[in-house]
């Protein structure tokens, strides 16, 4: 019996370790309006993260209070192997509206999106460290940014919109030791990616990226259904949402995995009225059913080297501009432009496998 209990304990540890960004909800099962967090975005931004009272107990434990709902996109954005805890809060009595499978939900004024960036195994202590907390809050019809940098004691985070770097040496999920100068973005850098039509906008909370189960405290539930139950999403959205897949799910279709990865990591710049809309690619998941939008057999408008004959050269990563840009750390040439300082090796392997699978070859 003792051996069996130890086996179950070990199995639980393994399962938790393998969940990566799949956060377990430690908040109340349902929101009680009497205990629900009350905030006024007209008072934002506060100087200290603790002033918002998003979390109960020590902030570093990331246990959300009533009204602060965790969520996770199906395929997350790569940020130098950092993990993220994401939360949403809205005032009582208002809800986000469905605006299309691949469009960010239409959030009401007063909404707050919270994203904590952390590493599980930071050296030399080989323990967790939260680096920063980024916030988007909606006031008077417009989204605004706030970024909080955590102290070494992991007890507080202070508002800083000027940007900075911090050295981090960590062990990644595959057991590889890595050292980086982690970039905490300035407000202007946030705007580079988080913009459309020259207005600030979120990137991740789209129906196509949320239409999946999540391990809430009261049981596993589709995230969109949970948002409706908690009043955070208006009911009546379509039930046949075209949904992305996990980029690292080897049981899923290879093309779907590649399109989902490209959507989350590249589409915020490569879409209409965004930072790189002058390029021919349109990388949003709902647009890449057309191979031309993915750049297949499309000549690059500014080839870095003559060997790069196409944005995506079917069957030939070495001649593909897209592949080159995700495998370089050269600031003026890498993709994404911001948000990474090292190469996402597993993501590169996916895109390489996908390009190699494409046919017929480009002329």
Beta bridge partners, 177, equal 171
CA separation for the pair 254, 285 (Å, rounded): 14
More confident residue, 29 or 356: 356
Decide: 147 and 197 in contact? Cβ < 8 Å: no
pLDDT value for 251: 97
CA atoms within 13 A on the CB side of 279: 25
Beta bridge partners, 162, equal none
User: With 90 as the cut, is the pLDDT of residue 179 above it?
Assistant: yes
pLDDT value for 335: 79
Nearest to 205 by CA among 345, 30, 324, 71: 71
pLDDT digits (tens, 9 = 90+) for 21-63: 554 444 444 455 567 999 999 999 999 999 999 999 999 999 9
pLDDT digits (tens, 9 = 90+) for 190-231: 766 666 666 778 888 999 999 999 999 889 999 999 999 999
CA separation for the pair 231, 246 (Å, rounded): 27
CA separation for the pair 90, 13 (Å, rounded): 33
CA separation for the pair 137, 185 (Å, rounded): 17
pLDDT band at 333 (very low <50, low <70, confident <90, very high): confident
User: With 60 as the cut, is the pLDDT of residue 2 above it?
Assistant: no
pLDDT digits (tens, 9 = 90+) for 85-131: 999 999 999 999 999 999 999 999 999 999 999 999 999 999 999 99
pLDDT band at 139 (very low <50, low <70, confident <90, very high): very high
CA separation for the pair 253, 250 (Å, rounded): 8
H or E element in which residue 216 lies: strand 213-216
**Torsion, CA 18, CA 23, CA 28, CA 34, rounded to 10:** 170
Tokens read off for 277 = 């809309």
Tokens read off for 22 = 């799949």
The predicted model scores a pTM of 0.88
pLDDT band at 187 (very low <50, low <70, confident <90, very high): confident
């Amino acid at each position: 019996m003792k051996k069996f209990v130890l086996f179950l304990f070990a199995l639980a540890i393994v399962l938790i370790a393998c969940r990566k960004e799949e956060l377990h909800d430690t908040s109340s099962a349902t929101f009680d309006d009497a205990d629900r967090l009350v905030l006024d975005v007209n008072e934002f931004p506060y100087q200290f993260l603790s002033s918002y009272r998003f979390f109960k107990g020590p902030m570093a434990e990331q246990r959300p209070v009533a009204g602060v709902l965790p969520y996770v996109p199906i395929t997350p954005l790569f940020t130098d192997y950092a993990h993220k805890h994401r939360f949403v809060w809205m005032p009582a009595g208002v809800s986000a509206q469905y605006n299309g499978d691949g469009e960010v939900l239409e959030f009401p004024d007063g909404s707050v999106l919270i994203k904590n960036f952390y590493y599980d195994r930071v050296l030399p202590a080989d323990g967790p460290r939260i680096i920063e907390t980024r916030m988007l809050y909606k006031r008077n019809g417009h989204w605004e940014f706030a970024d909080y940098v955590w102290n070494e004691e992991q007890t507080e985070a202070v508002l800083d919109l000027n940007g900075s770097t911090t050295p981090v040496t960590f062990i990644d999920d595959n057991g590889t030791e890595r050292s980086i100068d982690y970039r905490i973005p300035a407000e202007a850098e946030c705007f580079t990616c988080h913009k459309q039509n020259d207005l600030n906008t979120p990137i991740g909370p789209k129906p196509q990226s949320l239409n999946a189960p999540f391990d809430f405290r009261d049981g596993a539930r589709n995230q969109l259904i949970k948002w409706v139950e908690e009043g955070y999403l208006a009911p009546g959205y379509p039930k046949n949402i075209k949904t992305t897949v996990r980029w690292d799910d080897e049981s899923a279709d290879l093309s779907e995995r590649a399109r989902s990865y490209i959507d989350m990591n590249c589409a915020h710049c490569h879409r209409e009225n965004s930072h790189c809309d002058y390029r021919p690619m349109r990388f949003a998941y709902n647009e890449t059913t057309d191979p031309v939008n993915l750049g297949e057999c499309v000549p690059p408008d500014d080839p870095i080297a003559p060997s790069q004959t196409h944005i995506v050269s079917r069957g030939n990563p070495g001649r593909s501009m897209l592949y080159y840009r995700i495998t370089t750390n050269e600031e003026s040439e890498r993709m994404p432009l911001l948000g990474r300082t090292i190469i996402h090796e597993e993501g590169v392997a996916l895109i390489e496998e996908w390009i190699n699978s494409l046919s017929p070859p480009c002329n």
